Amino acid sequence: MVSLYEYEGCDRMVVVTGATGHIGNVLVRKLVEDHISVRALFAPGDDLKALSNLPVELIPMDILDSDGLVRAFDGAEAVFHLAGIITIMPFFQKRVYRVNVEGTKNVITACRKAGVKRLVYVSSVHALSEPEKGATIDENFEFNAKKVYGCYGKSKAIAGMEVEKAASRGLDTVILCPSGVIGPYDYRGSEMGKLFEDFLKGKFRIAVDGCFDFVDVRDVADGIVKAWKKGESGEKYILSGHTITMRKLVAMLNNCSAMKRKKVFFLPEALMYPIAAAMTLFYWLSDSKPRFTFYSLHTLHRYYNFTHEKASRELGYNPRPIKESVEDTLEWFEKKMNFSKGSFSQEKGLI
């Protein structure tokens, strides 16, 4: 069955879970721009800077509170489920599973009980089965936790299977799989956002070879809305952008920045994994974020090509050039950090 939602007015109300996240807050902005009423759900205790001054209904909600979700979904035309834990660490598997898998099950049940017409679930390319190195990955690759590396990818694969199961039982669903997300409005500091911020601070000095597909968060939000309106029920769509090597990304960062930065050194392969192990241990002991882990190295060294041909053909999805995304991301972080005249000062209350 194909479900088409072409909304014109603002008399429709939708729910967004994980609304304070990077994709979440940009999606909320897109929906508001399109004159859609939004009920924004966020984890209790979340910083609400990302949603400040937006005309939305804010509701603190534990994704594991099944009864609370039913109440929050009441009257919603659609639910955009983005709430989840993203991690490149090998730890916290139980918490990642509970939020990403059990939380998704709760959302599915709540959609049924509240009479939600369509569930739009945002998964990840990391949830798709991994073939040999250098392969082109499209929507024919299934969700299979046994064929995915890392606890995050496995949890999203299991959650994706739950959504597909719900679709087979009559729930109108559509699944989106973004690649590596970059872009402005990264208030919570994603893994890639931290790289951009460290670059501006002059702290990005060590990198590793490899490549990945990066997509602008604004294009992801646009693709999600297009999938809600045009996506075929029960289908999934890859929202990828452009594949780029880390060396080219570093060169682009330097070219797009107005100031000369310190040289970035690329580690030889023999040192990558020992350093990743040391960084992981350091994180465990100091509660700080490492740049390299076994998971991030694995991701960069698979050299996959994620094709968005299906999303472009069926949804009209069209990601912008990566240079534009890099420029806009740097500009946004510069403003966030109050970066000016070659000096860094972070003022409280700036954002």
Q: What is the pLDDT of residue 295?
A: 80
User: Average pLDDT of 266-283?
Assistant: 73
Q: Which 8-state DSSP code applies to residue 291?
A: S
Task: Using the predicted structure, report yes or no on whether residue 1 has a pLDDT greater than 50.
Answer: no
Q: What is the pLDDT of residue 340?
A: 39
Task: Using the predicted structure, report yes or no on whether residue 350 has a pLDDT greater than 50.
Answer: no
Q: How far apart are CA 302 and CA 281, in angstroms?
A: 24
DSSP string, 7-47: --SS--EEEEESTTSHHHHHHHHHHHHTT-EEEEEE-TT--
Element (H, E) at 93: helix 93-97
Sign of CA pseudo-dihedral 257, 300, 127, 276:
negative
Q: Which residues pair with 5 in a beta bridge?
A: none
Q: What is the pLDDT of residue 3?
A: 39
User: Average pLDDT of 39-68?
Assistant: 97
Q: How far is CA 126 from CA 155, 157, 279, in A?
A: 10, 8, 22
How many CB atoms sit inside 10 A of residue 288's CB? 9
Q: How far apart are CA 326 and CA 196, in angstroms?
A: 9
> Mean pLDDT score of the chain, rounded to an integer?
89
Q: Which residues pair with 206 in a beta bridge?
A: 265
Task: Using the predicted structure, report yes or no on whether residue 41 has a pLDDT greater than 90.
Answer: yes
CB burial of 318-334 (b: ≥16 within 10 Å; e: otherwise) equals ebbebeebbbbbbebbb
Distinct helix (H) and strand (E) counts, the chain: 12, 14
Q: Which segments of the chain are extended strands (E)?
A: 13-17, 37-42, 57-60, 78-81, 118-122, 136-137, 173-178, 180-182, 206-207, 211-216, 235-239, 242-245, 265-266, 305-306
**Kind of pairing between the strands at 173-178 and 235-239:** parallel
Residues 6+ apart with CB under 8 A from 109: 66, 69, 70
User: Average pLDDT of 154-182?
Assistant: 98
User: Average pLDDT of 118-145?
Assistant: 97
Task: Using the predicted structure, report yes or no on whether residue 184 has a pLDDT greater than 70.
Answer: yes
**Confidence bin at 38 (pLDDT 50/70/90):** very high
Task: Using the predicted structure, report yes or no on whether residue 247 has a pLDDT greater than 60.
Answer: yes
Q: How far apart are the first and last CA of the chain?
A: 44
User: Average pLDDT of 29-52?
Assistant: 97
Task: Using the predicted structure, report yes or no on whether residue 281 has a pLDDT greater than 80.
Answer: no
Q: What is the pLDDT of residue 286?
A: 54
Q: What is the pLDDT of residue 289?
A: 64
78-109 pLDDT, tens digit each: 999 999 998 866 555 788 999 999 999 999 99
What the chain holds in terms of domains, given with CATH numbers, is 13-188+213-242+304-319 (3.40.50.720)
Compare 193 and 275 and report the one with higher pLDDT: 193
Q: What is the pLDDT of residue 93?
A: 79
Q: Which residues pair with 211 in a beta bridge?
A: 245
3-33 pLDDT, tens digit each: 334 434 456 899 999 999 999 999 999 999 9
User: Average pLDDT of 252-273?
Assistant: 82
Q: How many residues appear in the chain?
A: 351
Angle at 1 between CA 315 and CA 18, to 5 degrees: 55
How many CB atoms sit inside 10 A of residue 22's CB? 26
Task: Using the predicted structure, report yes or no on whether residue 285 has a pLDDT greater than 60.
Answer: no
144-164 pLDDT, tens digit each: 999 999 999 999 999 999 999
Q: How far apart are CA 162 and CA 157, in angstroms?
A: 9
Express as a percent the part of the chain with pLDDT over 90.
73
**Confidence bin at 347 (pLDDT 50/70/90):** very low
288-302 pLDDT, tens digit each: 566 667 788 889 989
User: What type of residue is 145?
Assistant: A
Contact 191, 88 (CB under 8 A): yes
> What is the token pair recorded at 24?
């979440």
**Confidence bin at 114 (pLDDT 50/70/90):** very high
User: Average pLDDT of 277-287?
Assistant: 63
Task: Using the predicted structure, report yes or no on whether residue 119 has a pLDDT greater than 90.
Answer: yes
This prediction's pTM: 0.91
Task: Using the predicted structure, report yes or no on whether residue 315 has a pLDDT greater than 80.
Answer: yes
Task: Using the predicted structure, report yes or no on whether residue 276 has a pLDDT greater than 90.
Answer: no
Place of tokens 């040289």: 263
